Amino acid sequence: MRLNLSTLESANAHIKPSAQSLNADVGIVHLGFGAFHRAHQALITDTVMREHGGDWKIVGVSWGRSGVETQLAPQDNLYSVGVGYNDDLSIQVIGAIKEILTVKQTREILDYMCSEKVKIVSLTVTEKGYCHQPSTGDLDLAHPLIQHDLTHLDAPQSAIGFIVSALNQRKQQGIAPFTPMSCDNLPENGQVLEKVVLQFAKAFDDDLHQWIKANVTFPCTMVDRIVPRTTDADVARIEQTLGVTDQGCVMTEPFLQWVIEDKFVNGRPQWEATSIDNIQITHNVVPFEEMKLRLLNGTHSAMAYLGYLAGYQTVADTIHDSDFHTFIRYLMDVEITPSIRIKEVDLNHYKDQLIERYQNRGLQHRTWQIAMDGSQKIPQRMLQTLAFAIEQQYSTPGIYLTLAAWIRYTSGQDEQGQAIDVQDPLAEQFADIWHSAGSNYAQVVEQFLAMDNVFPAQLAAKPEVKQQLTEALEHIIKHGAKASIEQLLRSNHPASPSDSLADD
């Protein structure tokens, strides 16, 4: 039997959707309908409708080849979220989804986005979905999707094009605008979205640009929940407990957090009124974003590149190595925490929680998955912390080691000589650099630093950045990732890059 409305009653789930959530009308369109959204915003919104009612059902738009629309359609768009911690598993069935469309169903998507019923258009399209330069935040007007959408706004292909196209139609038809809400891992993500939308609109039509500027708000949000790519083992484990087959299930951890800037022009669900903890409405998301992006996402990237190169397939495997455990905690405490400005959170407790979350063997969070799209992630996860440390004149050998591991990873070959499937918008450029520079690692670093869409020019121009990064890269290539971490930890002065990465 497959999960659907007819089998819902017999499904062995801890929480199921209520009649009022199943019968609610549409209120949200979500661009980038992936596993994270299903385990985070959709679950929270389903809880709002189950506990308080309201017409906030979600129309999801799927990019790429995930096939989620074919998974959920036979299930009446129901799916389950498995919450696992080591051997424990609880299951919640979600009924918040009205329909899943693919990005090629342009007319159907725009019809929803232009409907008066839709109050919010939210996004989890990953960093690269904003078609911007990560180092500056500016819209990449030369991006093929942006060039297409500027001349074919009635048939957009990018998330930014869809938003501007729908806002343009609502303006023309006298319909109040929706609130675009980014839920991606970008610092001040609402401002990033606002900037690229306004730059796109200005390039298309100045009147539309002025209307959006005057009538639309772009709240910032901070989202936090570890949601790995669903495996066949996850599907089998959930089916065994649920008692029915669910091809659209996702696995996640118990922890969940959502901090939302209260800046909506057309209403919103009362997300903070649910029984779920750690949902906070605030007027300043930035400190929470910095904390999460630098401490969680930054150390995730460190484990992804260094862990992958060391031969570890998952975060849990990586952090259970005592050297990696010590290194990650050192990175948090010594190199990242000084750059965090938040006062509302006990940072030591937060870091303890992070280590505990990383140790969860109930999630198979692959290092390779986290390593994807590094060129889009590194600026906000690592480079802002590095810039702060240089300004404050303290050393960051762990950050240089992480950046060097990323550069080493992009070579496309691991420490055992096996090919790495480098998934990144700049993968071809990386390959060209490695092909042209070969074993001249100073030249490799120099060419990476010259990538101004990744490294801010002011940071890249600092001689110490090139020197420390080159030393770290040479050390990783000569000794390997794990030995480089061991050497850093053995140093009598771990805050000194030259001592930490000195040859054995």
Domain harbouring 441, CATH code: 1.10.1040.10
Give bridge partners of residue 182 from the DSSP assignment.
123
Residue that terminates a domain, selected from 229, 247, 282? 282
Same domain, 264 and 353: no
**Short-list 463, 412, 466, 413, CA closest to 442:** 466
Query: Using the 8-state DSSP alphabet, how is residue 1 labeled?
Result: -
* Per-residue model confidence (pLDDT) at position 292: 95
Residue 151 lies in a domain: yes
Sorted by sequence, the CB contacts under 8 Å of residue 477 that are 6+ apart come out as: 408, 441
- Number of alpha carbons in the 13 Å side-chain half-sphere of residue 251: 25
Same domain, 329 and 234: no
If one counts the domains in the chain, the total is 2
Q: Which residues of 28-39 are buried (b: 16+ CB within 10 A; e: fewer)?
A: bbbbbbbbbbbb
Residue 8 lies in a domain: no
Same domain, 388 and 251: no
Same domain, 345 and 379: yes
The pTM (predicted TM-score) of the whole model is 0.88
Residue that terminates a domain, selected from 282, 314, 334? 282
Same domain, 249 and 360: no
Same domain, 206 and 90: yes
Q: What is the 3-state secondary structure (H, E, C) of 75-110?
A: HCCCEEEEEEECCEEEEEEECCEEEEEECCCHHHHH
Same domain, 299 and 441: yes
* Per-residue model confidence (pLDDT) at position 65: 74
**Structural domain for 247, as ranges:** 19-282
CA distance 337 to 385: 9
Residue 91 lies in a domain: yes
Give bridge partners of residue 413 from the DSSP assignment.
419
CA distance 385 to 379: 9
* Per-residue model confidence (pLDDT) at position 502: 34
Residue that terminates a domain, selected from 257, 282, 307? 282
* Per-residue model confidence (pLDDT) at position 2: 96
Same domain, 459 and 321: yes
Which stretch of DSSP H or E encloses residue 442? Answer: helix 441-449
Residue 271, amino acid: W
CA distance 32 to 35: 9
Residue 351 lies in a domain: yes
**Short-list 221, 158, 159, 171, CA closest to 191:** 221
Each of the 504 residues of the chain gets a pLDDT tens digit; together they read 999 999 999 999 999 999 999 999 999 999 999 999 999 999 999 999 999 999 999 999 998 777 899 999 999 999 999 999 999 999 999 999 999 999 999 999 999 999 999 999 999 999 999 999 988 899 999 999 999 999 999 999 999 999 999 999 999 999 999 999 999 999 899 999 999 999 999 999 999 999 999 999 999 999 999 999 999 999 999 999 999 999 999 999 999 999 999 999 999 999 999 999 999 999 999 999 999 999 999 999 999 999 999 999 999 999 999 999 999 999 999 999 999 989 889 999 999 999 999 999 988 899 999 999 999 999 999 999 999 999 999 999 999 999 999 999 999 999 999 999 999 999 999 999 999 998 999 999 999 999 999 999 999 999 999 999 999 999 999 999 999 999 999 984 544 333 333 333
Residue 5 lies in a domain: no
Beta-strand ranges (E) seen in 346-403 are none
Which CATH number goes with the domain that contains 257? 3.40.50.720
CA distance 319 to 363: 13
Residue 372 lies in a domain: yes
Same domain, 65 and 172: yes
CA distance 214 to 467: 47
Residue 73, amino acid: A
* Per-residue model confidence (pLDDT) at position 290: 93
Residue 95 lies in a domain: yes
* Per-residue model confidence (pLDDT) at position 284: 93
The dihedrals phi and psi of 407, each to the nearest 5 degrees, come to -60, -45
Residue 328 lies in a domain: yes
Same domain, 322 and 246: no
Same domain, 312 and 377: yes
Q: Is 165 within 8 Å of 210 (Cβ atoms)?
A: no
Same domain, 56 and 204: yes
